[in-house]
A and B are shown apart, each in its own frame.
Chain A
Amino acid sequence: MNKTIRFMQGNEVCAEAAIYAGVNFFAGYPITPSTEIAESLALRLPESGGKFIQMEDEISSMCAIVGASLTGNKAMTATSGPGFSLMQEALGYAIMAEIPCVIVNVMRGGPSTGLPTQVGQGDVYQTRYGTHGDHAIITLTASNHADIFRMTIEAFNFAETYRTPVILLLDEVTGHLREKIEIPEPGKIPLVKRLRTAVKAGVDYHPYLPREDGRLPMSDFGDVHRYNVTGLYHDMWGFPTTNPPVVYGLIRHLVDKIENNTPRITRFRKYYTKDADTLFISYGASARSTLHLVENRRKRGENVGLLELQTLWPFPAEIVRDACSKVSLVIVVEMNMGQIAKEVKLAVNNPENVFLANRIDGELITPTDLRNTLRVIQGKGV
């Protein structure tokens, strides 16, 4: 028996990956279908010297991880749609105050309490636009356990690299699914350490003064430097300001630090795309059904391919445009009313060739659903 090979739920894999990435603080409130992440970390964090807190709700959970991160910890929370709605205010605060943290949203059917135990992918826009005001965000996703492991670590790495909250957007199917995972040896996947200031105690530290490369070294709050943190527009000291050039500079910085690094943040997988004339684009559990169909069609000699997106935001428009440039048909597969399909249409040169294959009844979209959609689009009937 190989000890590093495990048979686990996707949510448990996410928790293991967070431990691998060095998480040492989790605050959350249990909600289906994300609860196994909290359960696993309640077991694992005390073993590694970390802290697990079950809070009174998701508002306080989000606030707690923001505070924990500011004081120098790697912090995360996990929830589902209804809880993620409650987290939006403090998420905006973390974006504005540039506090690294990871929020896992294991999607169920929505809106509202929706379908607690069933699958949906309706929160794609919520991760992007859920909190108010102009901002950029990083949203990652995954369709299998090896990728859940990798993307969880990427989420922590991006959070530290760009000093921003990162959303890991999973779904009920991948979260609850048990499958094989080989846990990588410690040190095999690089981890990004927090960039801490070199300014010594007793010397003025400017928490919001970017270095030449645009990054902002942090100082653990409550340690040797005194500084202010606020959700208001602020100057390099962290104090509130309405000075237009400073306001302009901050909003530009918040958006540019992510949007300008889109190629560095973009993660995706390509299957049989080189000679494809029909290209599927999908993510999360939907991508599993799509890959099932693509593998079967390839065996029959049909030129179909799959572009699986793992970074949803910032939307990898160039990758999508490039992948779609030589195909006659693009089918976006997702379990919502076409949230990524709309982005694909905006990105490509021929949006009239982009179709949506979706399922919105709480059940996982099947290869048969896709086969039927494909036939209808091709004019062959169901």
Chain B
Amino acid sequence: MEKCRLLFSGSGGQGVITAAILLGEAAVRYESLNAVQSQSYGAEARGGATKSDLIIWDQPIYFPKVNQPNILICLTQAAFDKYIFSIRPGGTLVTDARFVKNPGLVDARKIELPFHDTVMEKIGKPVVLNICLLGGIIRLTGLVRLESVGALIKDRFQPSFHDINLKALDLGYELMDRQEAGG
């Protein structure tokens, strides 16, 4: 397989770091792959642009940072402005139209999906936005099975949060599935 370098970015509290950890953990524990995940700390992790680096590969991973992501995920305009120029030429940019306006000219495949609006419409709680996004990334990359992340959610989250997170996961997966199938 090709080494997959993902960069999740957004603002503190959106849960982009949790999404990256869940994807990495599912890859390691359920798919026998290697993954390394790191994140920004400090003032920027508490409100400003926050990011998490995740590399998934079937071979040993030594250098753990993502300087040029294959897949760049931006959940705020500030994060988009900060990281857009790091994207690997020919990579994939995933944004939510509600947060990032006019992604403009980049040498990347652009995927704009209404994760936020879908979550608000179908679930009504913005807290599961990151899990909805994660569902989309799972469909996009095909690195881990949806059930693996579902099992992790049940393992890690309080029972009262299982249902809305699993629903958000499915919603994100379906959004991306329609996008990928429809072209």
**Do they bind each other?**
yes
Q: Is A165 an interface residue when CB atoms closer than 8 A count as contact?
A: no
B62 touches A180 (CB 8 A): no
Q: Which residues of chain A are within 8 angstroms of B24 by Cβ–Cβ distance?
A: 7, 178
Contacts A1-B30, A5-B29, A7-B25 given; does A178 touch B63 at CB 8 Å: no
Docked complex: B25-48 residues within 8 A CB-CB of A: 25, 28-30, 34-39, 41-42
Q: Is B61 an interface residue when CB atoms closer than 8 A count as contact?
A: yes
B62 touches A292 (CB 8 A): yes
Q: Which residues of chain A are within 8 angstroms of B38 by Cβ–Cβ distance?
A: 173, 176-178
**Given B30, B36, B42, B62, which contacts A178 in the complex, CB threshold below 8 Å?**
B36
B64 touches A173 (CB 8 A): yes
Shortest beta-carbon distance, B89 to chain A, in Å?
16
Docked complex: A172-196 residues within 8 A CB-CB of B: 173, 176-180
Give the docked Cα–Cα distance between A292 and B5 (Å).
15
Q: Which residues of chain A are within 8 angstroms of B61 by Cβ–Cβ distance?
A: 179
Residue of A nearest to B38 (CB): A177
Contacts A1-B29, A2-B29, A178-B37 given; does A295 touch B62 at CB 8 Å: yes
Q: Is B120 an interface residue when CB atoms closer than 8 A count as contact?
A: no
Contacts A33-B41, A178-B24, A366-B67 given; does A289 touch B62 at CB 8 Å: yes
Q: Which residues of chain B are within 8 angstroms of A1 by Cβ–Cβ distance?
A: 29-30, 151
Q: Is B21 an interface residue when CB atoms closer than 8 A count as contact?
A: yes
Residue of A nearest to B59 (CB): A295
Q: Which residues of chain B are within 8 angstroms of A33 by Cβ–Cβ distance?
A: 41
Shortest beta-carbon distance, A257 to chain B, in Å?
36
Chain A contributes a number of interface residues (CB within 8 A of B) equal to 25
- Interface size classification for chain B: 20 to 34
Give the docked Cα–Cα distance between A187 and B24 (Å).
29
Give the docked Cα–Cα distance between A230 and B177 (Å).
71
A177 touches B29 (CB 8 A): no
Q: Is B65 an interface residue when CB atoms closer than 8 A count as contact?
A: yes
Give the docked Cα–Cα distance between A118 and B43 (Å).
12
Residue of B nearest to A285 (CB): B64
**Given A117, A291, A295, A364, which contacts B65 in the complex, CB threshold below 8 Å?**
A364
A366 touches B34 (CB 8 A): no
Docked complex: A1-36 residues within 8 A CB-CB of B: 1-2, 5-7, 32-33
Residues 127-155 of chain B, each 1 if its beta carbon lies under 8 Å from chain A, else 0? 00000000000000000000000010000
A179 touches B29 (CB 8 A): no
Shortest beta-carbon distance, A357 to chain B, in Å?
14
Q: Is A116 an interface residue when CB atoms closer than 8 A count as contact?
A: yes
Residue of A nearest to B53 (CB): A177
Residues 291-309 of chain A, each 1 if its beta carbon lies under 8 Å from chain B, else 0? 1100100000000000000
Q: Which residues of chain B are within 8 angstroms of A163 by Cβ–Cβ distance?
A: none
Give the docked Cα–Cα distance between A288 and B65 (Å).
10
Q: Which residues of chain A are within 8 angstroms of B64 by Cβ–Cβ distance?
A: 173, 177, 179, 288, 364
Q: Which residues of chain B are within 8 angstroms of A177 by Cβ–Cβ distance?
A: 36-38, 64
Q: Which residues of chain B are within 8 angstroms of A178 by Cβ–Cβ distance?
A: 21, 24-25, 35-38
Contacts A7-B28, A177-B36 given; does A32 touch B62 at CB 8 Å: no
Q: Is A50 an interface residue when CB atoms closer than 8 A count as contact?
A: no
Residue of A nearest to B41 (CB): A117
Q: Which residues of chain A are within 8 angstroms of B35 by Cβ–Cβ distance?
A: 7, 178-180
A291 touches B62 (CB 8 A): yes
Q: Which B positions have Cβ atoms within 8 angstroms of A? A: 21, 24-25, 28-30, 34-39, 41-42, 61-65, 67, 151
Q: Which A positions have Cβ atoms within 8 angstroms of B? A: 1-2, 5-7, 32-33, 116-118, 173, 176-180, 288-289, 291-292, 295, 364, 366-368
List of 3 A-B pairs having minimum Cβ-Cβ separation, nearest first: A117-B41, A292-B63, A117-B42
Could you write out 16 A-B pairs with CB less than 8 Å apart? A1-B29, A6-B29, A7-B21, A7-B28, A7-B37, A116-B42, A117-B42, A118-B41, A176-B41, A178-B24, A179-B34, A179-B61, A180-B28, A289-B63, A364-B64, A366-B67
